[in-house]
Amino acid sequence: MEKEYSPEGYLYKDAYMGNPESYQKKINYLANTVQPEEWGYSETEGSYKENFILKNYILYTYDQVKEEGKIEISSDGNNMCFNTGLQTLNGNDVFAFFATCTSKVAKPDQKWYFIGFCQGVESRMKCFSKLPDVADYFTNPSDFIFDRKLELILDYDHIIDDNYERFVDIGYNDKHLIKALLMNATATIKEKLKRNYKLAIPQYFTDKGTGESKIQLLLPLFLKGNNNVADLALVVDKTNHNYIGKTVLTIGWAYVNSRRIVKPDADWLKI
């Protein structure tokens, strides 16, 4: 079981989102308004658990649109919005809408107060001269496709020692056995990727220490021999000559991270 999630990123620095109950209602409204997806997540605890994936997605989307300069402010300076990248069943874009913050419980740097989510066709959006575009992670499309010409190399020490509890959680506590299983699973996924490159799912990773962001690929690890059910996800970084794997994620966290970019379309990445 993962620890309770603590919100990070620009959104909670720039805006007062309201009390937890109020914000949760707005998130629940969004989940029921946009095209259906799996937004729940069982591996986190506490008050942030309900529709966790959606809340996480909104936080990261704001980080990205702010980085790209895709935040729109009304001409009078009283309102701000950004495109969530989500749409209603009828294909209308959904935006997060903010007003100037006057709350006494807000932090000094929280200029905005979160009003709620609304569609671009709503009258309140007329205060903006134009509506902002969606976040764009696809600056280098080749990063999103597994290059079969490159070698796949695993740093077994980092993978096993740093993620030992994740292996224990799926039934393995002998490190020699874990390494043997990883070697076999890596050989298996190499062969699978030769036939279906779509098995590699991208995630957008930001290093908290350096602030550097990059695309990584998530590869399924079939450790228990069932080639239809992945047990963990291998995270790989692309270099000029190979892919390097240094860590693994639970399937749940792999889904959460990949959803930051787009809804994952792979049978092995389901929660």
Q: Based on the fold, state whether residues 114 and 165 are members of the same structural domain.
A: no
Residues 6+ apart with CB under 8 A from 174: none
Q: Based on the fold, state whether residues 177 and 253 are members of the same structural domain.
A: yes
* Predicted pLDDT of residue 235: 98
Q: Based on the fold, state whether residues 115 and 167 are members of the same structural domain.
A: no
Q: Based on the fold, state whether residues 215 and 184 are members of the same structural domain.
A: yes
Residues 6+ apart with CB under 8 A from 42: 49, 252, 271
Looking at the chain, the number of H-run helices and the number of E-run strands are: 7, 10
- Cα end-to-end span (Å), the chain: 15
Q: Based on the fold, state whether residues 159 and 123 are members of the same structural domain.
A: no
Say if 174 falls within a structural domain: yes
* Predicted pLDDT of residue 208: 75
Distance CA 114, CA 97 (A): 6
The rounded average pLDDT for each run of 10 residues, N- to C-terminus, in the chain (271 residues) is 57 95 97 95 69 95 96 97 97 98 92 97 96 92 91 96 97 97 95 92 86 91 88 95 95 94 88 74
Query: Range of 47's domain?
Result: 11-127
Q: Based on the fold, state whether residues 118 and 146 are members of the same structural domain.
A: no
HSE toward the beta carbon, residue 80, CA cutoff 13 A: 20
Residue 24 structure tokens: 């949760």
Query: Which residue type does 268 have?
Result: W
Pairing of strands 15-16, 112-119: parallel
Q: Based on the fold, state whether residues 123 and 158 are members of the same structural domain.
A: no
* Predicted pLDDT of residue 3: 42
* Predicted pLDDT of residue 6: 53
Distance CA 79, CA 95 (A): 12
Give, in degrees to the nearest 5, the angle at Cα 157 between 154 and 144: 30
Structurally, the chain folds into a number of domains equal to: 2
Q: Based on the fold, state whether residues 254 and 165 are members of the same structural domain.
A: yes
Say if 266 falls within a structural domain: no
Q: Based on the fold, state whether residues 81 and 177 are members of the same structural domain.
A: no
Say if 78 falls within a structural domain: yes
* Predicted pLDDT of residue 271: 74
Residue 144 structure tokens: 């999103």
Q: Based on the fold, state whether residues 68 and 110 are members of the same structural domain.
A: yes
Say if 184 falls within a structural domain: yes
Distance CA 54, CA 90 (A): 20
Residue 162 CB neighbour total at 10 angstroms:
13
Closest CA to 266 of 216, 198, 193: 198
* Predicted pLDDT of residue 9: 81
Say if 5 falls within a structural domain: no
Residue 164 CB neighbour total at 10 angstroms:
14
Q: Based on the fold, state whether residues 145 and 123 are members of the same structural domain.
A: no
Say if 6 falls within a structural domain: no
Closest CA to 96 of 56, 48, 132: 132
Distance CA 57, CA 256 (A): 8
Bridge partner residues of 32 (DSSP):
none
* Predicted pLDDT of residue 141: 86
- Among 76, 98, 127, residue at a domain's last position: 127
* Predicted pLDDT of residue 4: 43
Give, in degrees to the nearest 5, the angle at Cα 54 between 16 and 202: 120
Q: Based on the fold, state whether residues 122 and 30 are members of the same structural domain.
A: yes
- Among 127, 151, 179, residue at a domain's last position: 127
- Among 105, 127, 149, residue at a domain's last position: 127
